Structure 1
């Protein structure tokens, strides 16, 4: 044990030096590629950092970033009104559900216009079906717009399951656009009694960390035009090493984009007293296998998939087949496009060998047979393969 600890202490400086050299090479080459090819790239706009152009080629990020000031003002007003009414009138579940329902309906009216009638019609019909059937212990799931879903746990006839709380849950303004997905029971309990896990100071620190992460994204998009390379298709003309650098950059850009979007709306939900799950609990570069990556990418949706798709299909007993069904469903859930289906099936092709290898390693007790050191080194190689597979899968969408 002492020898193992001693070796780890000796190994750490080498690994640190290796990481520094790796990222220096990546950063220098990324800067050079961005400057050499910026005239051929799509989606670059004048930036605000040092006269550099800004890569806003990603439509999701461009729309979110462009609407951020308005969103912040609107959600700030919404949460302030709701919190003041809660404190002044000592409102509980029923009262707060009506407050947030009125606020959220005003919000939806702006987003959807007259089409809000269809949202209300679908949700109302579902509520009547649930109440009329009244099956004890049954779970009902109603996908709305691909970004949120109703999750009911236990008895559908629970006293908290009133129409106002139900509808408030589905159209709750801070989480309506992008989630994260929150179970109905968790929402109903917290709208009655605000969450206690985060203090005001912790919520403020959460917001500050988000702001720092946002600045990091701005720095990345001003200096490195990774996504513009992918959108423009120019990466196909580069050397294999440069293709890896662009793919690795796009992977980190996409992770940081969703990290910022989901944390932004979760922040406003926390301010209003509702704690939603953290969608990106782990950094992408800290995921050493595909299973870990997908558990920590859109984590709330992953939990939904496990409960309502993976387990009903047989769980781990049929995981080699289930993975194909699940990723096909995820691709269709995003949009019905061949390139998304190709991405899903390519991911499965990478995923299946990993699952077989992990099962074999557990069965033959590889860690004990080869020792801790060899096992860690093999795991590190597997981590590199994981990142490469993710890069290939992501770039396949831009073929």
Structure 2
């Protein structure tokens, strides 16, 4: 009873602290946005209270501007696909052909003549899989081919038709509205998935016991092409394995009811409204894009860095859930990418499991486990995060972000291993263990913020500047305040986890 009473009092204190913290952060953010808006890049006239709108992020700007046309297009796609499915009782191959034709028309609008590059590379990959897919060294061939495509696409900026001869040069005038080699990053993941699932088709698949295995006839070119180009998931995912996709083509998903899918859509609209409020009043991303961070105090740098992280989380949540919603409407369940709020993750492992969750599952299935899994964890994280950085783009700041994350991962993994080896018995030991875990969580969140600041705001060249600012008197006091705040935040996350476990036990 005493322990329960103490925890209740602690929870009240933690909630009050969090309320004061967010009040200070929001007020200071509003002040910064008001004082510096004239110097920021990417602000446009908005529609809320005469405010400017932060449209400095290209990804968000493109989605926001194209939501009406995308919604109309996907609505038509859904109607056509469902009418044809019902009218002709289409199963996997039939629906694969329908969706391939619909998706190729979509890609033709997006990429114009560059669709030829996509089909050509996809076809070569398909024949490599079919010819070498059962051989011992196939995995090396698959990865070398796909990584080469990924890197060459970036180096040559999607290639020029003129480089193949003057008679092809006129096609460079019809390259569509969207750079194909950016979207192709996701296609590469799908091509690797198809190849690995085919290679493992006759073996025991222990990576996901819930996933249905598909028969060999599903590894056909129409289903493969449909998987690569499936319109609702083509641009941004979420990422789904070939086996999971092909097994759902025969009949629409029945996991979610129509009411649940509609509710999912309404929640997305609510999240969109939150993003509109943020982008009209808190210009976090514009500060990062404009390079204004080097003119701010350590406290303000933290506020902008923290704000950018939350902006990115909400942006990707909206992007991924929008396309996942249309996939659900069309009968294909893709993994949820943001199952947990970014402010409810107190260690690196849980953060990455809940940030780009479908990509995390893909990495575990096709990279981490084949490399040896947890037996070689300290080595594998370097390979995994280096691949993630290269997959995103060929930039030093992304490699710096990846390697910093790996460095920060090492102490967390060592502490977890030690904690698992020692049994915590008794109320006092449990209390000490919980406090040490909260301190570790505070340090981890700080490290995570540093890695993301380097990767997405200041770049590797700004590391020395960042440390010099925070090692001064004002910076050290700010750093101390951050650690205390993140300690409190971690303790609050513990209470949330405890409440969830209690609810699960009683339900």
TM-score category, normalised to shorter length = over 0.9
- Residue 312 of structure 2 corresponds to 254
Cα deviation per residue 1:275-322 (whole Å; 9 max; x = unaligned)?
A: 001111111111110111011111111112112222232222222222
- Residue 40 of structure 1 corresponds to 39
CA contact (8 A) 1:328 1:345 kept: yes
CA contact (8 A) 1:323 1:348 kept: yes
Distance in 1 (CA, whole Å) between partners of 2:44 and 2:229 is 35
Distance in 2 (CA, whole Å) between partners of 1:212 and 1:128 is 45
3-state SS, counterpart of residue 216 of structure 2:
coil
Q: 1:193 Cα deviation (Å)?
A: 1.1
Cα deviation per residue 1:261-283 (whole Å; 9 max; x = unaligned)?
A: 01100000000000001111111
- Residue 190 of structure 1 corresponds to 248
Correspondence 1:13 to 2:39:
no
RMSD: 2.0
CA contact (8 A) 1:230 1:395 kept: no
Correspondence 1:217 to 2:307:
no
Q: 1:16 and 1:123, CA in 2 relative to 1: closer, same or farther beyond 3 A?
A: same
CA contact (8 A) 1:79 1:271 kept: yes
Unaligned runs of 5+ in 2: 151-183, 203-214, 459-507
Q: 1:123 Cα deviation (Å)?
A: 1.5
Distance in 2 (CA, whole Å) between partners of 1:321 and 1:271 is 41
Q: 1:249 Cα deviation (Å)?
A: 0.5
3-state SS, counterpart of residue 365 of structure 1:
coil
Q: Where does 1:1-399 land on structure 2 (aligned, <5 Å)?
A: 2-133=1-132, 135=134, 145-148=184-187, 149-150=189-190, 151-152=193-194, 153=197, 154-155=200-201, 158-365=216-423, 371-397=429-455, 398-399=457-458
Q: 1:378 Cα deviation (Å)?
A: 2.9
Distance in 2 (CA, whole Å) between partners of 1:128 and 1:370 is 63
Q: 1:343 Cα deviation (Å)?
A: 1.2
CA contact (8 A) 1:282 1:296 kept: yes
Q: Which moved more, 1:121-130 or 1:335-344?
A: 121-130
3-state SS, counterpart of residue 27 of structure 2:
helix
The TM-score normalised by the length of structure 1 is 0.94
Distance in 2 (CA, whole Å) between partners of 1:333 and 1:191 is 28
Q: 1:391 and 1:79, CA in 2 relative to 1: closer, same or farther beyond 3 A?
A: same
3-state SS, counterpart of residue 147 of structure 1:
helix
Q: 1:368 and 1:69, CA in 2 relative to 1: closer, same or farther beyond 3 A?
A: farther
Distance in 2 (CA, whole Å) between partners of 1:147 and 1:129 is 19
Q: Which moved more, 1:304-313 or 1:272-281?
A: 304-313
Unaligned runs of 5+ in 1: none
Q: 1:136 and 1:193, CA in 2 relative to 1: closer, same or farther beyond 3 A?
A: farther
How many residues align structurally? 398
Distance in 1 (CA, whole Å) between partners of 2:334 and 2:99 is 16
Distance in 2 (CA, whole Å) between partners of 1:368 and 1:194 is 51
Q: 1:195 Cα deviation (Å)?
A: 0.7
Q: Which moved more, 1:208-217 or 1:132-141?
A: 132-141
